[in-house]
Structure 1
Amino acid sequence: MPLYEHVFISRQDLSNSQAEGLVEHFSTVLSDNGGKVVDSEYWGVKTMAYKINKNRKGHYAFLRTDAPAPAVHEMERLMRLHDDVMRVMTIRVDAHDDGPSVQMQKRDERDGRRERR
């Protein structure tokens, strides 16, 4: 099955448990349609570069999935209809990276950055 990575932003006035509940809800939608969630991360409340629906901040969540295309389309459709979800981005990847995403790594652990002069 194809591999996907999803990032979605939910409204800032949700509690942390409600935002994590959205991750669980969309994970079950995906598994009901024949896919599986390989990994999920809750990135917390972050400030956005611009306002979306009059919100300056949002709860960010990240999912790594292994699912057929119809399951991903159904999950995206339900995300776009959900009132609490503001933005969704899905990309298809060749392979999932091991370990945490770049957002969850500490600054010291990130490699590939050069020193400023």
Structure 2
Amino acid sequence: MPRRYETIFITPADIPDEELHTLIERYSAIITGRKGILVKVEKWGKRKLAYEIKKHLRGYYILLDFAGQTDVVNELERNFKIDDKILKYMTIKKEDAVDLKVLEAEINLPAKETKPEEAIVPSAGPEKAEEEKDSVAPADAETSG
């Protein structure tokens, strides 16, 4: 049975967008070419590295969430080692056994259920409480002084 994995890899921050897109397509093709299922690709963007890696202080982070056999991970990591554009990578196992039907339902489900009304909107409660504190504090200061 296939397992579920997450791989994060870091490229130099100054990589052109078209080259970044090519890298993502290449690694996605490795996953699907070995009968794996690509659940999602997240571009986390440019971030400061905790320490210098191959003379780079900033990197572009990309997350691949996928399911497949161990040979998918082995081939993916073999390609990461060869590629000079990959500064660092890490793969973790999320689940031991994954039902492909459930996984495919998970892939299709968020796209159908997402509605604009359900977008995350910051709550007005704490902001109003802070505004009330600000408006009350000057009044108290004037009367006590």
TM-score (norm 1): 0.77
| Structure 1 match to 2:40 | 39
Secondary structure of 1:85's counterpart equals coil
Unmatched runs of 5 consecutive residues or more in structure 2: 111-119, 123-145
Report the residue type matching 1:50 in the other structure: Y
Distance 1:15 1:42 in 2: 14
Write the distance in 2 (CA, Å) between the matches of 1:57 and 1:14. 11
* Aligned twin of 1:69: 70
- Superposed displacement of residue 52, structure 1: 0.2
Kindly state the Cα deviation for residue 15 of structure 1 after the two structures are TM-superposed: 1.4
Structure 1 segments unaligned to the other structure (5+ residues)? 100-105, 109-117
Q: Are the aligned partners of 1:16 and 1:44 in contact in 2 as well (CA < 8 Å)? A: no
Count of residues paired in the alignment: 102
* Structure with the higher strand share, 1 or 2: 1
Q: Which has the higher helix share?
A: 2
Shift of 1:44: 1.1
Q: What aligned pairs does 1:25-104 form with structure 2 within 5 A after superposition?
A: 25-94=26-95
Bigger Rg over Cα: 2
Alpha-carbon distance, 1:71 to partner: 1.3
Shift of 1:19: 1.6
Q: Is the Cα–Cα contact under 8 Å of residues 7 and 88 in structure 1 kept in the other structure?
A: yes
Distance (Å, rounded) in 2 between the aligned partners of 1:17 and 1:3: 28
State yes or no: 1:2 paired with 2:9.
no
